Structure 1
Amino acid sequence: MFSRPLRQTLTLLAAVALTMTGASACGSGDAVEASSAGDELAGAKFVIGSKDFTENIVLGKIAVHLLKAHGAEVVDKTDLGGTAPNRKALESGSIDMYWEYSGTGWIEHLKNTEPIHDSAEQFTSTAEADLAKNKIHWIGPTPLNNTYALAIRSEKAQELGVKTVSDVAELSRTKPEEATVCIETEFSTRDDGLPGLTKAYGMTIPKDRVALLDTGVVYTETDKGQTCNFGEVFTTDGRIAALGLTVLEDDKKFFPNYNAAVTVRQETYEKYPALETVLQPVIAKLDDATMQKMNSRVDVEGQEPGTVATEWLDENGFLGR
Structure 2
Amino acid sequence: MKLRTSRRGALKMASLAVAGVLVSGCGLSSGSAVPLEVGPGSIQPVPELEGVTITVGAKNFTEQAVLGYIAEFTLAAAGADVRDMTNIVGSSTARRALQSGQIDVLWDYTGTSWISYNGNNDPIPDARAQYEAVKQQDLERNGVAWTAIDYQVDNTYAFAVNQDAAERLGVEKLSDIPRVVAEHPAEATFCVDTEFANRNDGLPGVEQEYGFTADRSKVKTLTEGSIYQATANGTCTFGEVFTTDGRIEALDLEVLQDDKLFFPRYNVGVTTRDELLQRYPQITSVFEQVSKVLTNDELMRMNAQVDVDGRDPADVARDWMAEKGLVTIPGT
TM-score, length-normalised on structure 1?
0.81
Question: Match for residue 269 of structure 2?
Answer: 261
2:223 to 201, 214, 223: 214
What residue number does 2:162 align with?
A: 153
Match of 1:305 among 306, 313, 325: 313
CA contact (8 A) 1:32 1:319 kept: no
2:125/2:262 contact within 8 Å kept:
no
2:93 and 2:210 mapped to 1: Cα distance? 30
Q: Give the CA deviation at 1:131.
A: 1.1
Q: For 1:298 and 1:310, how far apart are their aligned partners in 2? A: 13
Amino acid at match of 1:116: I
1:212 is displaced (CA, Å) by: 3.5
Which of 11, 26, 39 aligns to 1:35? It is 39
Q: Report whether the alignment pairs 1:105 with 2:113.
A: yes
Aligned length: 291
Q: Which residue of 1 aligns with 2:323?
A: 315
Q: Secondary structure at the match of 2:201?
A: coil
CA distance in 2, matches of 1:165, 1:213: 21
Aligned residue number for residue 23 of structure 1: none
Shift of 1:313: 1.3
CA contact (8 A) 1:138 1:263 kept: yes
* Whole-angstrom distance in 2 between the partners of 1:287 and 1:105: 21
The residue that corresponds to 1:283 in the other structure is 291
When structure 1 is superposed on structure 2, of 106-115 and 246-255 the one drifting more is: 106-115
User: Does the CA-based 8 Å contact 1:51-1:82 persist in structure 2?
Assistant: yes
State the distance in 2 between where 1:169 and 1:212 align: 20
The aligned residue for residue 115 of structure 1 is: 123
CA-atom RMSD in angstroms: 2.5
Once the two structures are overlaid, the 10-residue window that deviates more, 204-213 or 38-47, is 204-213
SS at match of 1:127: helix
Deviates more, 1:281-290 or 1:104-113: 104-113
Question: Secondary structure of the equivalent of 1:285?
Answer: coil
Distance 1:164 1:231 in 2: 13
Q: What is the SS of the residue equivalent to 1:117?
A: coil
Query: Does 1:184 find its partner at 2:188?
Result: no
Distance in 1 separating the partners of 2:135 and 2:242:
22
Separation in structure 2 between the aligned mates of residue 86 and residue 173 of structure 1, nearest angstrom: 43
8 Å CA contact 1:33–1:69 kept in 2: the answer is no
C-alpha deviations, 1:60-109, integer Å up to 9, x for none? 11001221222223332222233333223323333222111222222332
- Residue 3 of structure 1 corresponds to none
| Cα distance, 1:185 vs structure 2 | 4.1
Query: Would the alpha carbon gap of residues 125 and 155 (structure 1) be closer, same or farther in structure 2, given more than 3 Å must change?
Result: same
- 1:32 Cα offset (Å): 4.4
Per-residue CA deviations over 1:12-40 (Å, capped at 9, x if unaligned) read xxxxxxxxxxxxxxxxxx99436354144
Paired position in structure 2 for 1:22: none
Q: Is the 8 A contact 1:108 1:190 kept in 2?
A: no
Residue in 2 that maps onto 1:125: 133
Deviation string, structure 1 residues 184-218 (Cα, Å, up to 9, x no partner)? 34434544223332332344335554334333322
Residue in structure 2 matched with residue 246 of structure 1 by the alignment = 254
Aligned runs of 1:55-204 on 2, under 5 Å? 55-142=63-150, 143-172=152-181, 175-204=184-213
Query: Cα distance 1:208–1:64, how it changes in 2: closer, same or farther (>3 A)?
Result: farther
Give 1:223 shift. 0.6
Q: CA-to-partner distance for each residue in 1:251-287, whole Å, 9 max, x for gaps?
A: 2210122211011121222232221121111111111
SS at match of 1:91: helix
Q: Shift of the alpha carbon at 1:181?
A: 2.2
Asked if 2 retains the 8 angstrom alpha-carbon contact of 1:32 and 1:69, the reply is: no
Comparing both structures, which one devotes a greater share of its residues to helix? 1
Name 1:4's counterpart in structure 2.
Answer: none
| 1-structure distance, mates of 2:101, 2:200 | 26
